[in-house]
Structure 1
Amino acid sequence: MDATTKPLRIPPEMATYAEKHGIFDLIQTLVRNLVIDKPADPIQYLIEMLKRESTEVPKVMLLGPPASGKRTIAKKLCEHIGAIHITASDILKDTSVLTRAALEFTEKNQEIPRDLWIKLIQQRLSKVDCVRRGWVLEAIPKSREEALCLQEAGIAPEHVVMLQAPKSVLIERSLGKRIDPVTGDVYHVTFMCPESAEVAQRLEKPQDLISEDVIFLQMQAYQREAHALQRTYQNCLKIVDADQAHVDAFAQVLTYVLSRQRSAAPHTPRIILFGPPGSGKSLQATLIAKKYELVNICCGELLKAVAADESSMGELIKPFLESGRQVPDNVVLQILVERLSRLDCTSQGWVLHGFPRDVEQAEALQESKFSPSRVVFLEMTDGVAIERLTLGAIDPVTGERYHSLHQQLQCNPRHSEAEVQKRLQEYWSHVDALQAFYPQAVRVRADQDPHTVFECLESRLVGRLPKVLPDRA
C-alpha cells in the first residue's frame, strides 16, 4: 500500500498487544545486548536471552561518600527488587584465576590494576544470578576513568543513585557506626537504632573504625571524583539527600529505581478519565486532547450524535435518550468500538470519559481489545461536587458554564441537589471495584484550580509506568 496516497491502516489491537507485552522494548534490549556482548552465535544467544524469566532486570549503581548509608540502602533495595547486592569485597571472594591474581596485589597493599579490576567486575556480573535477577553495585565505580572502562566493557547501568550529605553529618555518622555481628547490618547510635532490644545489645564497633582525620581525607578523595561521575552518568543519575531519615531516603531511591526511562517505541495514548459528577472530566479531557492532538470522546455526547443521524443505530437508541432511560450496555459498546476503530483514534490516540461506569463495562471494553494505556481517577469530596454543580449555571446564548448567578443564566435540571446526590451515590457504588480493576491507575485531586489539576494530571501521563515489583512470596 502506498502510504503517500492513503494512510497505512494498522489494526489497533496490534499496537495494544505490542505495548502490553513490551515488544518494542524487548527488541531494543535484544539488539543492544547483541552489540555489546558480540556473541559468536547470535541466534543461540538470543534464544538463551528469551528463555530467561525477564530480559528487563535491574542494573543499579549506588554511589556516595563514606557513611552516607550506601550499605543499608543497597541491602533494602535488593530485598525489594530481588537484585543481587555486589560490593568490592564480594567480587574478591571468588576462587577464579583472576581473583587470585588480584589478591596478590591486595596482600602487598598495592592497588589492583584497572584492567584486571574491570575483568573481575565483568566476571561477577556475568554469573547466572546477576543475569537473571539484575544487580546493585555498591560504591562501584570510584572514578570517571573506571566508569568509562566499565562502559567500554558493556556494563551500563539503567539507574545511578548518588547519596550526598554535609561533611559534619557524615563524620558524626562514621564515628557512631555500629555493626550487628550476626547479620552484618549497619546501625548508628543516634541516626538509626535497631528496633529490637536484642539486636541493640549485641551491636559492636567496626573493627576498621578510623579516626576523624582519615574520614575527612576519604571524603576529600570522594569529592574529587564525584563531579566527574555525575557528568559521566548524567542521563540516568538521581541525587538523593542522605541527611534525612533512612526510610525517607530509601523511599526516594526505590521510587527512582522502579521508574523507567523514556522509551523510543511508538506509542498511541489511550486514556480513560474517571471522577464523580463535577470533578471536571470534560474540561480535563478537552485540555489533554487539545495539547496532545488526541480524539476527545465523551460517551454521552457520542450517543447523542449517533441518535441525531438517521442511521438504524440512531433510531434504535433515540427512544432511550428521549425517555431518560439507560442505553443497553451492548449497544453502547458497539457504538463506542466503532468510534475507537476509526483512523483518527488508531493513529492519534484518544481520551475517553463517561464510559465505563462499572466493572462489567470495563471488562467488556477490554475484551473488545481497547484497553487503556493510562487510567486517571479525579478525586473530590461530595460537598465540593454538590457546590460546583448546584451553584453552576449555563449561558443559554453561548453555552458557556459559570459558577455565579446572572439574569441570563439558567440552571441545568440534572444539577439539582437531589439529582446530584443520586449520581454521586451511583458513582461511589462502583469506584472501588473500578480502582481494583485498574490497579496502575493514578489519582489526582480535582478540588484545585483546573490548570493545576491539568499540570498534575499531565505529569502522570507523559512518563512511563513504574516497574512492577517481583513477587517475593
Structure 2
Amino acid sequence: MTPITFSLATCECALASDLDSCYKRTANHLIAMDETAKPLRIPPEMAIYAEKHEIFDLVQTLVTNLMVDKPEDPIQYLIVLLKRGSVEVPRVMLLGPPASGKRTVARKLCEHTQVIHITDSNILKEDTDLTKKALQYKAKQQDIPGDLWIKLIQQRLSKIDCVRRGWVLEGIPRTREEALSLQEAGVAPNHVVLLEAPDAVLIERSQGKRIDPVTGDVYHVTFIWPEDKEVVQRLEHQKAVSEEQLVAQLMQHHREVHALRKTYRNCLKGIDADQPHVDVFDQVCCGELLEAVSADSTNMGELIKPYLESGQQVPDSMVLQILTERLSRLDCTTRGWVLHGFPRDLEQAEKLQESNFIPSRVFFLEMTDDVAIERVTLRSIDPVTGERYHSLYKPAPSPEVQTRLQFNPKDSEAQLLQQLKEYWANASSLQDLYPEAVHINADQDPHTVFESLESRLVGRLQNDS
C-alpha cells in the first residue's frame, strides 16, 4: 500500500477556498484505495461517520483558527478550542479620540466580561525578544516600526489567556494602514466600538483628570468622581497635554477615522461619548439584544430591523428565537443570566417556560404610578457635559446649566402613562404564574433596593448549595 501524506502545503489552496472539499477529496481517496490491499486501515464507512458527526466542519474550523491565530502553543490552543465548542469569545476594538473615555469604558467592559484588556503600554511589558527590540526604539524616542508593532500585537493576542477569554484592544488600531496590517495578520474583531464626541467637549474633559495610583483608574473632577473617600485621598494629578497638543491629536484622529469606519463597517458600532460614562458603558457592553441582532448581517437581523426602525413591536416569535439562542450560549449556561423587563405578558412567560428557560428567582420591583411619573418625567440631561439631572433629586448646579437642560420625548407623561397601563394589565397574570416571586419596594434609594435584591439572591444560592 502506498502511504498517503497530508501536509499543510497540500491544503494551502483549500484554506483559501474550501477546506471542506479538500478533506472530503482526501477521505474519498482513502476509500478508493486498492481494494486488494489488506488489511484496510481506514474503513469505507469513514466518510459516512465523518458526515454524521460533522468531522469535516470540525477539522475545517480547527485548522482555519489555527492558521489565523498562529498560537505559541498549538496543541494547548486546540484543546481550549475544542473545550470551548462553538462559542465565540469576545474580540473587541474600542476606538475613539483622546479624552473620549476609552480607558474607563475598557476597564469596566473587561471587569464585566472577564476578557483581557490590551493597551499600548501593557503590550510593551511582555518579556520577549520582540518587546526588547521595540523598547530600543522607545529609548531612542523613535516610533516603533509598523511591522514590528503588528507582530507585538499578534504575539500578545496569541497567548492562551486571550484565546480562551477574548480581548479588548483599547485605542488599537489608530490608522487605516495599521488596521489593514492587523487584518493581514489574522487579527479580526467581532465588534468594533467607536466613541464619538464634539471636540469642545473633549478639550474640556482633558483638563482636570486624576488617577488612582493603586488601581490605575482614571477620574475627573467634573465628570467622574469616586464615591470612596479613601480613593479620593490618594488620587494624583495626571499630566495633561497642552490644548495645542490635544488639538493636533484630534486632527490626526479626524484624518483617520473615516478610513477606520470603512475598514470595519461590517462590525462597527458608533456610540455618543458625550454622556455619563455609565450610560456609555451600558450601550457598549449591554445594549438591547434586539438592536445588537439587527446590526448583524444575519437573516434574523434583517427581519427585525424594519420593526426597530419604525418603532413597532418585534413579534414574540422572533424575540423568543433570539432570546433562547442567546441564553443557550456557554456564558449563560455556566454563569447564569438576568432578564430585565422580560417577559412582559403571560404569553411571553409561557413560551419562555416551554423553551425550558426557567428562572430560579423572580423579582417584582414595585412603586405607585405617582412615584414612577415623578422619577421619569422630571429627569433631564445636560447636552454639554452629558450629566443627568432631576428636578427634585438632583437639580442643576447653576442657572446656566438649568437653561440648557434637555428632556427626552420618550419621558413624556403621556407615553409613561401608556406604558404603565400596559404593565398593570399584565402584572396580575405574571404574578400568578410566579407565585414564589419576591416583591421589592422600589420607592427607596438605589443602594437599599440593591441590598434587598442581593440579600434574597445570596440567600437562595446558599440554600441551593
Q: What TM-score do you get using the length of structure 1 for normalisation?
A: 0.51
**Which residue in 1 is equivalent to 2:205?**
173
Once the two structures are superposed, residues 99-137 of structure 1 have per-residue CA deviations (whole angstroms, 9 ceiling, x without a partner) of 000001111111111111011001111111111111000
1:234 aligned counterpart, secondary structure: coil
Matched, 1:64 2:96: yes
8 Å contact from structure 2 (residues 123, 153) kept in 1: yes
8 Å contact from structure 1 (residues 102, 112) kept in 2: yes
1:50 corresponds to which letter in structure 2?
Answer: L
2:138 alignment partner, one of 90, 93, 106 = 106
Matched, 1:231 2:262: yes
Distance in 1, matches of 2:261 and 2:182, equals: 15
1:152 and 1:70, CA in 2 relative to 1: closer, same or farther beyond 3 A?
same
8 Å contact from structure 1 (residues 118, 150) kept in 2: yes
Distance in 1, matches of 2:178 and 2:270, equals: 20
The 5 Å alignment of 1:365-380 reads none
Distance in 2, matches of 1:82 and 1:54, equals: 19
2:434 aligned counterpart, secondary structure: helix
1:237 and 1:246, CA in 2 relative to 1: closer, same or farther beyond 3 A?
same
**Which residue in 1 is equivalent to 2:149?**
117
**Which residue in 2 is equivalent to 1:210?**
241
Distance in 2, matches of 1:167 and 1:190, equals: 17
1:93 and 1:263, CA in 2 relative to 1: closer, same or farther beyond 3 A?
same
Distance in 2, matches of 1:362 and 1:31, equals: 38
Matched, 1:220 2:222: no
Matched, 1:74 2:76: no
Matched, 1:255 2:286: yes
**Which residue in 2 is equivalent to 1:89?**
121
Distance in 2, matches of 1:357 and 1:87, equals: 43
Distance in 2, matches of 1:169 and 1:60, equals: 25
8 Å contact from structure 1 (residues 180, 202) kept in 2: yes
Provide the identity percentage.
58
1:65 corresponds to which letter in structure 2?
Answer: P
Distance in 2, matches of 1:100 and 1:80, equals: 32
2:89 corresponds to which letter in structure 1?
Answer: V
Q: How far apart are residue 43 of structure 1 and its match?
A: 9.4
**Which residue in 2 is equivalent to 1:459?**
none
Matched, 1:128 2:160: yes
8 Å contact from structure 1 (residues 87, 137) kept in 2: yes
1:433 and 1:222, CA in 2 relative to 1: closer, same or farther beyond 3 A?
farther
Q: How far apart are residue 173 of structure 1 and its match?
A: 0.9
1:228 aligned counterpart, secondary structure: helix
1:357 and 1:171, CA in 2 relative to 1: closer, same or farther beyond 3 A?
closer
1:424 and 1:187, CA in 2 relative to 1: closer, same or farther beyond 3 A?
closer
Number of corresponding residues: 280
Once the two structures are superposed, residues 292-313 of structure 1 have per-residue CA deviations (whole angstroms, 9 ceiling, x without a partner) of xx9xxxxxxxxxxxxxxxxxxx
Distance in 2, matches of 1:37 and 1:198, equals: 43
2:237 aligned counterpart, secondary structure: coil
1:179 and 1:131, CA in 2 relative to 1: closer, same or farther beyond 3 A?
same
8 Å contact from structure 1 (residues 358, 433) kept in 2: no
1:76 corresponds to which letter in structure 2?
Answer: K
8 Å contact from structure 2 (residues 77, 163) kept in 1: no
Distance in 2, matches of 1:84 and 1:257, equals: 24
1:62 corresponds to which letter in structure 2?
Answer: L
1:37 and 1:133, CA in 2 relative to 1: closer, same or farther beyond 3 A?
closer
2:203 corresponds to which letter in structure 1?
Answer: I
Q: Which runs of 5 or more structure 2 residues have no equivalent in the other structure?
A: 1-54, 304-312, 322-344, 359-424, 439-465
Q: How far apart are residue 243 of structure 1 and its match?
A: 0.8
1:60 aligned counterpart, secondary structure: strand
Once the two structures are superposed, residues 405-451 of structure 1 have per-residue CA deviations (whole angstroms, 9 ceiling, x without a partner) of xxxxxxxxxxxxxxxxxx98983453336999xxxxxxxxxxxxxxx
1:121 corresponds to which letter in structure 2?
Answer: I
Once the two structures are superposed, residues 175-197 of structure 1 have per-residue CA deviations (whole angstroms, 9 ceiling, x without a partner) of 11111122211011111111122
**Which residue in 2 is equivalent to 1:240?**
271
8 Å contact from structure 1 (residues 60, 257) kept in 2: no
Once the two structures are superposed, residues 73-113 of structure 1 have per-residue CA deviations (whole angstroms, 9 ceiling, x without a partner) of 00000011110111000000011000000001111111111
**RMSD across aligned positions (CA):** 4.3
Distance in 2, matches of 1:177 and 1:36, equals: 40
1:57 aligned counterpart, secondary structure: coil
Q: How far apart are residue 209 of structure 1 and its match?
A: 2.0
1:201 and 1:113, CA in 2 relative to 1: closer, same or farther beyond 3 A?
same
1:78 corresponds to which letter in structure 2?
Answer: C
Once the two structures are superposed, residues 333-388 of structure 1 have per-residue CA deviations (whole angstroms, 9 ceiling, x without a partner) of xxxxxxxxxxxxxxxxxxxxx998997x986x568xxx99xxxxxxxxxxxxxxxx
1:83 corresponds to which letter in structure 2?
Answer: V
Q: How far apart are residue 198 of structure 1 and its match?
A: 2.5
Distance in 1, matches of 2:230 and 2:58, equals: 48
1:424 and 1:58, CA in 2 relative to 1: closer, same or farther beyond 3 A?
closer
User: Bigger relative contact order, structure 1 or 2, given CA contacts below 8 A and separation 6+?
Assistant: 1
Distance in 1, matches of 2:112 and 2:169, equals: 15
2:236 aligned counterpart, secondary structure: coil
Q: Which runs of 5 or more structure 1 residues have no equivalent in the other structure?
A: 1-22, 270-283, 295-353, 373-422, 437-473
2:102 corresponds to which letter in structure 1?
Answer: K
1:183 and 1:41, CA in 2 relative to 1: closer, same or farther beyond 3 A?
closer
Distance in 1, matches of 2:98 and 2:172, equals: 13
Distance in 1, matches of 2:158 and 2:96, equals: 25
8 Å contact from structure 1 (residues 357, 427) kept in 2: no
